[in-house]
Amino acid sequence: MAVHVLAVLAYKEGDRVTSAHLAESVNTNPVIVRRLLLALQRARLAETRRGAGAGSRLSRSPGRINLAEIYRAVEAVEPFATPSRKPNTACPVGHCIQQTLEKVFASARSALERDLEKTTLADVIDTVKASGVCGREKAV
């Protein structure tokens, strides 16, 4: 949803967009979009203004925002997590399974972020525009 919201902001090329408009595009409630925008503001990916000229826009060009930054801004929960309950350390597997999985998960998380760093928001918008569908849709 964060990539979708930022893609709409990028598509609007600096024009401010209301949370109601963003929610319509994402097909969700504006309150959910406003919460998401708070996380994106904390990460300095978007800026929001209230009152006259209200709405949100990107805080920098879409070519300078990569998907890893967006992922880090909104993903509070680890994508790979070990159970909170401790395994039985008397068991040969339980003795070392958490440490083993932590290494594997750290490597997977690192690979995911490295891959996301290769794609910018501008790349996403270029693909969206190339699809030719957006010109026919009124939501954006």
pLDDT digits (tens, 9 = 90+) for 100-125: 888 998 899 899 999 999 999 999 99
Measured torsion, CA atoms of residues 19, 12, 5, 124, in degrees rounded to the nearest 10: 180
- Amino acid 88: pLDDT: 87
Q: What percent of the chain has pLDDT over 70?
A: 94
Task: Please answer whether residues 56 and 34 qualify as being in contact, where contact means their C-beta atoms are separated by less than 8 angstroms.
Answer: no
- Amino acid 82: pLDDT: 73
Residue 58, φ and ψ in degrees, nearest 5: -65, 150
Instruction: Indicate the pTM of the whole model.
Output: 0.80
